Amino acid sequence: MTETIEAPAALKQIHHWIGGRPVAGESGRKGPVYNPATGRQTADVDFASVEEVDRAVQSAKTASAAWREVSLAKRAEIFFAIRELVHERREEVARILTSEHGKVLSDAIGEVTRGLEVIEFCCGIPTLLKSEYSEQASTGIDVYSIRQPLGVVAGITPFNFPAMVPMWMWAPAIACGNTFVLKPSEKDPSASVWTAELLKEAGLPDGVFNVVHGDKVAVDAVLEHPDVAAVSFVGSTPIARYVYEKATSTGKRCQALGGAKNHMIVLPDADIDMAADAAVSAAYGSAGERCMAISQVVAVGGVAEPLIDAIKERIPKVKVGDGLDPSSEMGPLITEAHRDKVASYLDEGDVLVDGREGAPAEGFFLRPSLIDNVTPGMRAYEDEIFGPVLGVTRVGTYAEAVKLVNDSPFGNGTAIFTRDGGAARQFQFEVKAGMVGINVPIPVPVAYYSFGGWKASLFGDRHVYGPESIDFYTRGKVVTSRWPDPATSTVDLGFPQTR
């Protein structure tokens, strides 16, 4: 009897999206896309050449003139249609996120829902672009301000939120009248193509939204392109600094969000169970692959022992597994190399829970891990680990805890857990970070505020989404107008007067 061997399934091919349609890559270069839960490659993604990036930018440039003339009412109508489609299909894209990123399905749905809030904010673009008008600023003269789009803008986005972070960028950019080129992470690129198809279905004109996949070649091509007016970036601090410096050196407007090392301070009067719940949730959710994850708990005074005991009690109950399994609470990390890098932090400090033990053999898994007595100077303290490793630092006083946060080169987010309102208010007043949580471990602002950190967590002067995004994606123009009787016109070489 002849044995039958089933042939392996063909890999999915992920192409660019230019001018309202998928476009196969021509560079001859591709990258692998994996299912992190199995460790197996599922797709190839095209890597763009400089010429292909130019093709996407030219598509956006061609579409720009017509799109900026579209009325605010029509733009709002399209955004309401986008909102409805994303809402209806959020589980569809969430499954795509889980299959390529690894996060559990409930977390993926949460990602899409938070991104949807930014789209909802942009549905109000007619109100958001209202400006000011001063009648009779001088005799017979009115002065008013307007905000106009920049033209072609671009977004370079990370692997950890392949749907939400692009929404933070393309939604306000396009609502303001710009056209957009997205360079998503090559590790989980399918959500960007799904987005492009959905925007087309919602009625967005061809060329307004484009996607090019790739690596540093594509990134540099975007940063150097003379027709790209502004660049938004989210990623690690070294790359954020590089993007900012390169983009601004070519005259572009740039906002580049970098890495983080988020401290959660727990004061002696805090509710231990609530603080432990928060620490476990914020450290291990999405396998710790969040720039707002809590990676360092700072235990003040005698709170350390009961807090650590409470965290250790909760860790074994976290169900780790395939993100598509409804019972899973934490999935794998994005790649094998990243999993191994995160695991290397468990080679130092007092490891109380080692996530390498009992991790699923298949896929890129690491279980929740806990290290005690982590101090400044240790790799586990200084680095943005970006994985499910939580460190505990013990200090004697509130002042020592705040000093740790303020001395950090990062300033993305921080949190304090306490029942003392005075201590909480003092903390939010003096701590040096862009986003602060009071009994909230992950203080990501709602969509009508703006997201961004301080220090090495942000390069540029504007945060993403919210009101600051409207400023970032537009430029102001002030108009001074007069409609006099021509018979009253005279030559006057004097300095213009307003009185």
Query: Active-site residues: which are they?
Result: 291
Answer yes or no: are the C-beta atoms of 174 and 180 closer than 8 Å: yes
Q: Which of 225, 223, 229, 228 is nearest to 247 (CA)?
A: 223
> What is the rounded distance in angstroms from the CA atom of residue 425 to the CA atom of residue 433?
14
Q: What residues are paired with 211 via a beta bridge?
A: 17, 182
**280-311 as b/e, with b when 16 or more CB fall inside 10 Å?**
bbbbbbbbbbbbbbbbbbbbbbebbeebbebb
Burial of 207: CB neighbours in 10 Å, binned 0-12, 13-18, 19+:
buried
> What is the rounded distance in angstroms from the CA atom of residue 290 to the CA atom of residue 349?
23
Count Cα atoms within 13 angstroms, Cβ side, for 398: 18
What 3-state DSSP class applies to 228? strand
End-to-end CA distance of the chain: 103
Single-letter residue type at 44: D
DSSP tag of 495:
P
What 3-state DSSP class applies to 57? helix
Length of the chain in residues, anyone? Answer: 499
Instruction: Return the structure tokens found at 166.
Output: 């692009």
What 3-state DSSP class applies to 16? strand
Q: What residues are paired with 477 via a beta bridge?
A: 146
Q: Which of 438, 379, 433 is nearest to 406 (CA)?
A: 433
* Pairing status of strand 458-459 against strand 454-455: unpaired
